[in-house]
Amino acid sequence: MSSWFHIMILIPFLFAIAVPYIYKQLTPRIHTGWFVLFIPVLIFVYLFAFIPQISKENTITATVPWIPAYNINFTTHIDGLSLIFGLLISGIGALVILYSIFYMSKHREALHNFYVYLLLFMGAMLGLVFSDNIVVLYVFWETTSVSSFLLIAYWYEREKSRYGAQKSMLITIFGGLAMLAGFIMLSMITDTYSIREMVSNAADIPSHSLFVPAMILILIGAFTKSAQFPFSIWLPDAMEAPTPISAYLHSATMVKAGIYLVARLTPIFGGAAEWFWLVSGVGIITLLYGSVNAVRQTDLKALLAYSTISQLGLIMSLLGLGSASLYYGVGNDSSVYAVAIFAAIFHLVNHSTFKGCLFMVVGIIDHETGTRDIRRLGGLMHLMPISFTLTVIGSFAMAGLPPFNGFLSKEMFFTAVLNVSNMSVFNADAIGLAIPVIAWIASVFTFVYSMILVFKTFRGKNKPEKLGRDVHEAPIGMLISPLVLGSLVMVIFFFPNVLSDYLLNPALHAVLPTLADAGELNVKISAWHGWNTELFMTLGVIGLGALLYIYLKKWYRIYHLYPDNFTLNNMYNLGLEKMESSSKFITERYMTGFLRDYLVYIFSFIILVVGGAMWLFDGFSFDPSSDAPANFFELGLMFAMIITAITVLFSKTRLTAIVAVGALGFLVSFFFVLFRAPDLALTQLVVETVTTALFLLCFYHLPQMKKEISRVRFKAVNAFISIGVGVLVTIVALAANGNRLFESISSFYENSYELAGAKNIVNAILVDFRGFDTMLEILVLTVAGLGVYTLIKLRPRRDRNEGAE
């Protein structure tokens, strides 16, 4: 099972390699998507077979060694939570690929790129949700960011696509780096990379000083990935991607990665006041922010983007509210607050069904009408009856109306926020009263934008003059996927406890294992709870929401009162411009094009860093007592080398400078003779002879100088830096020789004859001990030589072409 499960995760990556070949051989005869479709179907069927085991609260773990020396292994863990995400990733992925077969033209689109990126993303998401090792999880986490960047920028010729991809990359990668720092802190606290082992030691973690910093950094990663306020600005711009990508990444998978991470780490951080308020507070603010902004959108995909932000905020807030159950512990009404966690998982599934359906229908509208602008649409109900029916199902589920699955999870959401207002911990008695109010207001706006999506698009007067084409229903192939999702919306409402018993409750037990072991968690879903507060809140949402929709034109202008300069998008753009201008200013200061300036920066840095470090750590001490005495010949050679070096600096002709450089090299070879290294001396003599000859040959072909080299003016900065570097290097050499912290490595090479059969240690090091290094150096020189040869051979051909013109 171990190998098969790991292969299941790697199959999308492996098949991505074959996609370009399939595309090249079969296009335009057969759509490439038909060959890609069996991958997510196969994965879904494979994962579906685990449901009976997982529903019995069994878990499955498999390990493949990766870097065992550092306890980093590719360990997969299947429980209720990871299985739900795996089924969503593969199931929605299969429907999206089927949809894309009819949506993406095989003649006009680069389908090989599309499906390669899609498979990379699918594999990364599967690896993310099934990884137990946080290092492996991080690798897959960043792979989702890179692959989503490629998918959003699929239509890279469009400026908005490039902008949206860049924004998503910058924000999510920033969050990923913060999350990595949090993971490192968490591993330092627990001395393990395994999430399961961290959960088993969760009671000892909160007392550590790094607990809160690690929590905040990890939450930054989760918030950026799941588009939580204020990081939510990347999601609307990501809608420039093709609609199948939006339906997959931004409704069912990528944006749920942060949700998954928070749910997975709730057993570790849940129960802390900081976790409760950060997760629930950011979530509830995101819920309100997304719902309010969705109403003002005129583009259908933009409306769905902000609605996704809002719904993600709802799920995130439920995870935060439900974490209070870990504070209360076993036997203290903790199950009352654990319902919020159950509602979060339930709404996550519901959201994937109705939002995936809506994204696909919006893609159909765009495909058939040529626009997503609500102001140009209307009267499509009779022209596109199936699309209209699917939009009603998805929108009413999103608004939380019966008989759709969104109603069930929305009622549980109201129950959760009402329970918080009665809490006596975390100062909820003072602040918790605001949470139900904010939740209810956000639900009103959710109802309004849901009605806009349905009635502004399909009701009213048809506007064929604004569309420029005959509108008709989409082909059946494009309707299959949204029909499946729309059917699930209805089926889940009427049979919710089938989903609950087999998937939702096992997932709840995975998030709250201590309460599950005590037998306190077994939630049942019911559509009718009597005339309770939650039902009256729903009726109030419908009543006020209907009034706001009817009189939308009278109060819509309040959106124009808010200044655009204070929007998050404007602040992001302004910050990016300031960063670019600052970077340009700094770059222009040091990228001057003069070699002298570069050397000044490099050598000054060496003096400051190396010299400063030696000063701070008292590195200037050295012991010359064990050094060999310098004899007359060595001193003479040293002074001769100094004289030749100075001669190079003050030479007035090229020939004198070349001869002085060569003489300096020959003097170095004499040092090798004195130190009894004849091979090195011979090598040095050959190298110096060849290089001097090449120098002279090159300068022979250069044009003659009109005048001799003028005397170089004295520059104090140059003198200070050159003397400083020379003195520093000398001191470092003396200090290194006088302070041996480790045993000399030379003893390792003393038996070079026995190990390598070489009588010369230097030759043994170069050829045997550093054989790969030497081979690569030779390879670099070979490549450089081929490049020079190619340029030389191309130049006459170019000259001939220019002459012909």
What is the pLDDT confidence band of residue 790, given thresholds at 50, 70 and 90?
confident
Q: What pLDDT is attached to residue 665?
A: 87
Query: Average pLDDT, stretch 136-143?
Result: 94
726: pLDDT strictly greater than 80: yes
Q: What pLDDT is attached to residue 336?
A: 74
Q: Each residue of 730-756: pLDDT tens digit?
A: 888 888 776 666 777 777 777 777 777
Q: What pLDDT is attached to residue 613?
A: 86
2: pLDDT strictly greater than 60: no
Cβ contact 358:457 at 8 Å = no
Q: What pLDDT is attached to residue 776?
A: 87
500: pLDDT strictly greater than 50: yes
Question: What distance lies between CA 187 and its chain's CA centroid?
Answer: 20
Number of Cβ within 10 Å of residue 756's Cβ equals 18
Q: What pLDDT is attached to residue 804?
A: 43
735 vs 262 pLDDT, higher one: 262
Query: Average pLDDT, stretch 195-206?
Result: 88
Q: What pLDDT is attached to residue 707?
A: 54
**Tokens matching residue 441:** 């207001």
**Tokens matching residue 754:** 């026995």
801: pLDDT strictly greater than 60: no
Report the predicted TM-score, pTM, of the whole model to 2 decimal places.
Answer: 0.81
805: pLDDT strictly greater than 50: no
Q: What pLDDT is attached to residue 329?
A: 65
Q: How far is CA 257 from CA 251, 253, 254, 347, 485, in A?
A: 11, 7, 5, 15, 21
Cβ contact 202:164 at 8 Å = no
Q: What pLDDT is attached to residue 331?
A: 60
Fold for the domain defined by 599-705+712-766 = Four Helix Bundle (Hemerythrin (Met), subunit A) (1.20.120)
Query: Which H or E run contains 75?
Result: strand 72-78
Q: Each residue of 459-478: pLDDT tens digit?
A: 877 777 667 677 888 889 89
The one-letter code for the residue type at 359 is: F
Q: Where are the domains of the chain?
A: 2-550, 599-705+712-766
Query: Average pLDDT, stretch 182-193?
Result: 92
Alpha-helix residue ranges (DSSP H) falling in 27-79 = 33-36, 38-48, 51-55
Q: Which of 80-84, 108-112, 614-618, 650-654 has the highest average model confidence (pLDDT)?
A: 80-84
85 vs 371 pLDDT, higher one: 85
Q: What pLDDT is attached to residue 92?
A: 94
Query: Average pLDDT, stretch 328-349?
Result: 80
Q: Please, how many CA atoms are within 13 Å of residue 627, restricted to the half-sphere of its CB?
A: 14
Q: For 303-307, 601-605, 774-778, which range has the lowest pLDDT when averaged over its residues? A: 774-778
150: pLDDT strictly greater than 60: yes
Q: State residue 526 phi and psi, 5-degree precision.
A: -140, 140
Q: Which residue has the tokens 């997510």?
A: 40
Query: Average pLDDT, stretch 578-601?
Result: 87
Q: Please, how many CA atoms are within 13 Å of residue 311, restricted to the half-sphere of its CB?
A: 36
pLDDT above 70: percentage of residues in the chain: 92
The one-letter code for the residue type at 114 is: F
Query: Average pLDDT, stretch 570-596?
Result: 87
What is the pLDDT confidence band of residue 519, given thresholds at 50, 70 and 90?
low
What is the pLDDT confidence band of residue 353, given thresholds at 50, 70 and 90?
very high
Q: Each residue of 293-317: pLDDT tens digit?
A: 999 998 999 999 999 999 999 999 9
Contacts of residue 9, defined as CB under 8 A and 6 or more positions apart, other chains included, come to: 76, 123, 126, 127, 130
Q: What pLDDT is attached to residue 713?
A: 66
Cβ contact 163:237 at 8 Å = yes
Q: What pLDDT is attached to residue 796?
A: 55
Q: For 133-147, 275-289, 549-563, which range has the lowest pLDDT when averaged over its residues? A: 549-563
25 vs 805 pLDDT, higher one: 25
711: pLDDT strictly greater than 70: no
Q: Each residue of 18-60: pLDDT tens digit?
A: 998 888 887 667 888 889 999 999 999 999 999 999 988 888 8
Please write down the long-range contacts of 420-428, taking CB distance under 8 Å and 24 or more positions apart.
420/280, 420/321, 420/324, 420/337, 423/324, 423/337, 425/273, 425/324, 425/327, 425/328, 426/273, 426/276, 426/277, 426/324, 426/327, 427/273, 428/324
Q: What pLDDT is attached to residue 91?
A: 94
Query: Average pLDDT, stretch 142-166?
Result: 91
What is the pLDDT confidence band of residue 270, given thresholds at 50, 70 and 90?
confident
Q: State residue 445 phi and psi, 5-degree precision.
A: -65, -35
Q: What pLDDT is attached to residue 704?
A: 64
Query: Average pLDDT, stretch 249-275?
Result: 89
Q: Each residue of 389-418: pLDDT tens digit?
A: 999 999 999 999 989 999 999 999 999 888
Query: Average pLDDT, stretch 231-245?
Result: 90
The one-letter code for the residue type at 305 is: A
